[in-house]
Amino acid sequence: MWIINGRKTDDPKVELDGGYFFGYGAFETLLAEAPPVFLRMHLERLHRALDVLGIGRRVEPWEVEQAVELLSCRGQVLKVAVSEKNTVFSARPNPYRQSDYAQGAVLGPSSVGKNSLSPAVRIKSLNYLENLLENRKAKGQGWSDAFFLNEKGCVTETTTANLFFLQNGKLHTPALENGLLDGTVRRWLLEEGQGNRLPEGLAVMEGNYGPEAFAASEGVIMTNSVLGVMAVSSWEGRELPRPEVLEAVRRHYGEATEWKG
């Protein structure tokens, strides 16, 4: 079942436009709670992406909340995709299970480099091909995901998530200038750190980091709006520590958002 241009339907027909032919559009993926988690941040980011693309369509908060009810998808994953002629809502189950969090993520390096100057790396465009291909390749190698480096050799993100590492009582995350998406959970963690609301008073710093900084750290987490906060248990084949403070960060996120991951 879909909602296409305001109409609930089981016949997914859209108007042919640049979104279909070239992936010229943007999307957001939200946890469909009541209200949807980080709804304001998601819509602000979606609208910034649409501005970059020169697409004048907008999505209002009430449309998202209505879609959750019409699709009966509370507790699931809601996707909104916008192109020149279409606004499409769809839903799917959350793929992450408690066993995934217990095991932790296994990450390896992508063979594809990211261009820090490209506008495409800062928006969630409908043309998500590169990330999809690299994610599939990572799964084929037995990894949970793959991380990207930019042209300067700095870590940016994974194919699906932002990254943080713990060192000397601080969380560190790649700065946006490296060429990455400003994820909603990433943004929330930065704000929580600035407000001194994270466990043990953790501060959150942005910077430029090579893969060795993550590999030699006291622990790594990955974040996105669907998985929330997940520990990384292995980085390029190296087993990583999983300190209690990072588990406390995950619990803090769950308490703040009523997230059940």
**What is the overall mean pLDDT for the chain?**
97
pLDDT tens, residue by residue, 190-224: 999 999 999 999 999 999 999 999 999 999 999 99
pLDDT band at 35 (very low <50, low <70, confident <90, very high): confident
Output the pTM of the full model: 0.96
Nearest alpha carbon to residue 258 among 24, 22, 31: 31
Distance CA 17, CA 137 (A): 30
Residue 260, pLDDT above cutoff 80: no
pLDDT band per the 50, 70, 90 thresholds, residue 233: very high
Rounded to whole angstroms, the Cα distance separating 110 from 3 reads 35
Q: What is the pLDDT of residue 31?
A: 94
Considering Cα of 188, then 194, then 199, then 203, what sign does the dihedral take?
positive
What Å distances lie between residue 216 and 92, 199, 210, CA to CA?
Answer: 37, 22, 11
Residues forming beta bridges with residue 200, ordered by sequence position: none
At residue 207, φ and ψ (nearest 5 deg) are -170, -170
Report pLDDT for 33: 86
Residue type, 153: G
What are the residue ranges of helices labelled H in 2-97?
18-22, 39-53, 61-70
Instruction: Judge if 146 and 207 occupy the same domain.
Output: yes
Count structural domains, the chain. 2
Of the residues 63, 92, 121, the one at which a domain ends? 92
Are residues 129 and 250 both part of a single domain? yes
Query: Is residue 134 domain-shared with residue 244, that is, in the same domain?
Result: yes
Which CATH number characterizes residue 240's domain? 3.20.10.10
Give the model's confidence band at 258: pLDDT under 50 very low, under 70 low, under 90 confident, else very high. Answer: confident
Domain that holds residue 64: 2-92
Amino acid at 25: G
User: What distance in Å separates the CA atoms of residue 235 and residue 217, rounded to the nearest whole number?
Assistant: 10
Q: What are the pLDDT digits (tens) for 70-80?
A: 999 999 999 99
Number of alpha carbons in the 13 Å side-chain half-sphere of residue 71: 30
pLDDT digits (tens, 9 = 90+) for 53-72: 999 999 999 999 999 999 99
The DSSP-derived string for 68-81 is HHHTT-TTSEEEEE
pLDDT above 90 covers a percentage of the chain that reads 96
Please check the confidence at residue 90 and state whether its pLDDT lies above 60.
yes
Average pLDDT (125-152) is 98
Residue 259, pLDDT score: 60
**Of 10-14, 33-37, 163-167, where does mean pLDDT reach its minimum?**
33-37
